[in-house]
Structure formats: structure tokens, C-alpha cells
Structure 1
Amino acid sequence: MADDAGLRKCLVCLAAIMVFIGFYTYSVKKMMATYLFGMFAIAGIVLPDWEFFDRPVSQWTSPLSVPQMLPHSPPPPTRFRFYPIRTVIYAMIYGYSFYRWWKYISSA
């Protein structure tokens, strides 16, 4: 990851959420579940190699070709492309995970 500022912000927010959950539930187990859920969520959103995943889903199983660039030329700016299937997959995975986490946290 070239810019670590986004990762740092996510980790600070996760720490604040963990402290809140710890005080709200008085449960170390629920606080650790929040930590695990948060780390997996951060790892799935912030850390992936977006050059690899920024393609249609059907091409995810094929290797990524590396463009030939001059040694001192800056990389071309990449822009996040919207692919509906990828968005649906992420929404289903994160939605279900958030639902299970919330159900566990809110249980007595």
C-alpha cells in the first residue's frame, strides 16, 4: 500500500469502536470479536491489490499482465471502476458479516 494514511485512519477508528464496545458490553470476548471483524473488514477493503481486482469478475482467475514501463516513469493514475457483480459480492459478504457481528454484540 503506497499511502498508509487510510490504513492508519481505519485502525484508529477500529480501536475507538473496540473501546466503545468494551465499555458498552463489559465483555472482552465481544471486544475481541469486534477486533477480528474489523480487521477482516479493513483487510478486505483497504489492503487488496486493486490493480488485480479492478477488472471484470470473469477475469479474476487469469494472471495480471504487467505493462512495460520506462524505469523512471510514474505509474498511470488508476481509478476505481464500478463493476456491478463485484459490488453485489462485496455487499453480500460484508452485509452478512455485519449482521452476524451485530447479532453477537447485541445478544445478552
Structure 2
Amino acid sequence: MADDAVLRRSLVCLAAIMLLIGLYTHSFKKMMATYLFGMFAIAGVVLPDWEFFDRPVSQWTSPLSVPKMVPHSPPTPTRFRFYPIRTIIYTIIYGYALYKWWMYISST
């Protein structure tokens, strides 16, 4: 349920950014480029199966085993584990995409 709220909030922020870009540049193409960039960015961060990807990168090719849980025990929160290689990969990909988007938006 909390993931739905994050997705909704992200989409509302994307709509506001699209409106600002559209008003600033007066270009429908640049507004649509902002939409596509924003949707890919949101999909890459909010929508993945974090139980699968919240492991070291070397284990991404192996299947995910489901641990046996004792009834009435709350699952441990594992959403925000820090893995340096994953952080570097995300930084490179999103940094390059943000750079290309900004170059396109700021061009005349």
C-alpha cells in the first residue's frame, strides 16, 4: 500500500514537471521527452521486485528462494539495503540519462 502512495506521488510530481517544461519551452516534443524520461526513471526505481534485486549483484542470476516464515512474525524490512555496485550502476545509468535529457531540454 505504501508503494502505491509513492507511485502516485511520483506521477503527480512528473505531471507538474511536465507542465513546467511545457510552459517554459513551449514545445510539445520536449514535454513528451520529459514524460518518457520520467516514466522510465519512476519505473526503474519504484516498480522493480526489490525482494529479488535487494541482494548482491553477483546473486541476481540465481533464483530467489523464499524463506520459511513462522506464522505471526512480521517480515524484516529489507527495502533500503546499501549495495555499492548497484548504487554505482544506477548512478551511471540515471546520470547519463539525466544529462542527455537536460541537453535536449536546454537546446533551442
TM > 0.5 fold call: yes
**Hey, what does 2:44 align to over in structure 1?**
44
| AA of the residue aligned to 2:56 | P
TM score, norm. by length of structure 1 = 0.92
Cα offsets for 1:22-44 (capped at 9, x unmatched): 00010100000000000000000
Contact 2:22 2:30 survives alignment (8 Å) = yes
**Hey, what does 2:87 align to over in structure 1?**
87
Distance 1:7 1:47 in 2: 8
**Hey, what does 2:7 align to over in structure 1?**
7
- Report the Cα offset of residue 79 of structure 1: 4.2
Aligned alpha-carbon RMSD (Å): 1.5
Cα offsets for 1:20-74 (capped at 9, x unmatched): 0000010100000000000000000111111111111111111100112256654
TM score, norm. by length of structure 2 = 0.92
Question: Following superposition of structure 1 onto structure 2, how do residues 1-108 of structure 1 map, counting pairs within 5 Å?
Answer: 3-70=3-70, 73-108=73-108
Distance 2:79 2:12 in 1: 26
Cα offsets for 1:58-93 (capped at 9, x unmatched): 111111001122566543322411111111000000
Distance 1:2 1:9, change over 3 A: closer
5+ residue gaps, structure 1, are: none
